[in-house]
Amino acid sequence: MSKPNRPGAAPKQGGKPPANAAKGGQKAAPKPAARAAQSAPQKQGPQKSAPKSAPQGPRGRQQNSAHSASVELDEGEELVRQLSALAVAMAGAVKSGNAPVDQDGERIGQQDLDRLIRKCLRARDDESLYEALEQVRFEDRGAWSFLRQAIEDAAQILVMRRGERLQEINTFMIPLLVRTKGGLQQAAVFQNGDDFEALKDSLQQSGLESARARVVLVAHAYHPDEIEALSYSEVEAMNRDAYTSLTDKKVLSVPAIERSMRGWPASDFAAADDALELRFLLGFSLKELDDTFYVVPTDEAKADAYFEQRAERFRAWSEKNAPLLQRCLSGSSAPDACQVHFMYQDLFFGGKQTGNAEYRTLQMLSELEQGLAAAQAAAADAMAVFALASEDDETGDWQLTVQLRARDDQRLLAQSLQVLDGDPDEQLLDVAHAVASLGVTQSMLAEGLDDAGQPHNMRPFGEL
């Protein structure tokens, strides 16, 4: 999952699959955001004037304003309290294995929780969602994860009724690591309409989506800053844009999707620099709720096979269409204009986490390699020390310091700080395996670092 930051600073699901596999996807489709033009955020409409019955004198306006603020505050506090209480109760019941269900097999309280979350999303009340997450984080880490997943799913998956049919539309992403000389140029990306159409068609032809589904791919390679700026309600609004565009031929604009394309920040790469950059392909998949193509088997072994087959189809798609995507990103037919590493396709927040985690891992490995080179030391002569710090008071993230120390005298050779987004235990293992790829075979787990950066209370973390 991705870190639930507040809108403007930084605000999973999907397939089960290996988080860092270069392998799942979706099919392409018609017109909605396929060539949605980049634009500045939409202007707000005209502001409503005060009701004619409102008091007109200074004191009247002051009293009315104070009363409205008080009511709004009370309603907001109550909403946050309800969200928090439901999350804690439901997470506790799930953890204990005694979660009661209703006659439809749904957990008791789930409908109430989903209703409150949807209310916030439709009202673009991200603040209440972030406040509830912050409040729950200090009370119950498990409930925090439970609530965040519920909010993410409500934003990235919508179930809509169309006549007698129930349909689901979701927002998906494919994270990409792109290596070029001098960095990607936004003006060159997706400029060839034929290549973009071929890319969309390749997704459909790959069998990554049901033949009955409709999928739209946005003709924009999203920069991490653009993805980070999207709040929960903005993702939900983009989903609604895509649904309306796919089901209503009269719709000519998709304002939420257009707003999401804020543009890339200025690049610091020189023309001769070897640049490694993270980008995201973003799309929307519309399907019938009863489509058996998406039914995951209940048997564990069959479910594993289902996801592995899905992952294999994505691997095949990525290998076959890498040259096509290279042309789409570089605006050149030269096959070596850029190199693309595909990560696993997921729903919006899962794809965001996967891409950011992979990119941070590569940065960490680069820092550690540079440290070893500066110390003229070999990875085989170093041991890894992992020190997991308590979560940051501001963001709720866990901080992981990775040190490489000489095995003989424990002098510091290299160091990198990792911010963990999600389950710290799972990510600690992922980071440890990444460090092992450098050739480090011994590792220690420390309870923390002192003011001088020295680890204390170390114990073996196992052979990597």
Q: In which element (H, E) is residue 243 found?
A: helix 232-247
Q: Dihedrals φ, ψ of 92, to 5°?
A: -65, -40
Residue extents of the structural domains in the chain: 69-158, 161-355, 375-460
**Nearest one of 221, 222, 226 to 327, comparing CA atoms:** 221
Please give the backbone phi and psi of residue 264, each rounded to the nearest 5 degrees, phi first.
Answer: -80, 150
Q: Is 453 left (phi over 0), alpha (psi -120 to 50) or beta?
A: left
pLDDT confidence of residue 439: 95
SS3 458: coil
pLDDT for res 1: 42
Instruction: Could you list the beta-strand ranges (E) of 182-302.
Output: 214-217, 274-288
The Cα 311–Cα 207 span in angstroms is 11
Residue 335, pLDDT score: 61
List CB contacts of 229: < 8 A, sequence separation 6 or more. Answer: 7, 8, 10, 11, 262
Strand partners, 400: 388, 418
The residue count of the chain comes to 464
> What is the full per-residue pLDDT of the chain (464 aa) written as tens digits?
444 445 443 333 344 454 444 333 333 333 333 333 333 333 333 333 333 333 333 334 344 444 455 555 577 789 999 999 999 999 888 877 777 777 666 778 889 999 999 999 999 999 999 999 999 988 888 899 999 999 999 999 999 988 888 999 999 999 999 999 999 999 999 999 999 999 988 887 888 888 889 989 999 999 999 999 999 999 999 999 999 999 988 888 999 999 999 999 999 999 999 999 999 999 999 999 988 888 999 999 999 999 999 999 999 999 999 999 999 998 876 667 789 999 999 999 999 999 999 999 999 999 999 999 999 999 999 999 999 886 655 556 788 999 999 999 999 999 999 888 777 888 889 899 999 999 999 999 998 899 889 998 999 986 44
Q: Residue 186: name the closest of 217, 228, 216, 220 by CA.
A: 220
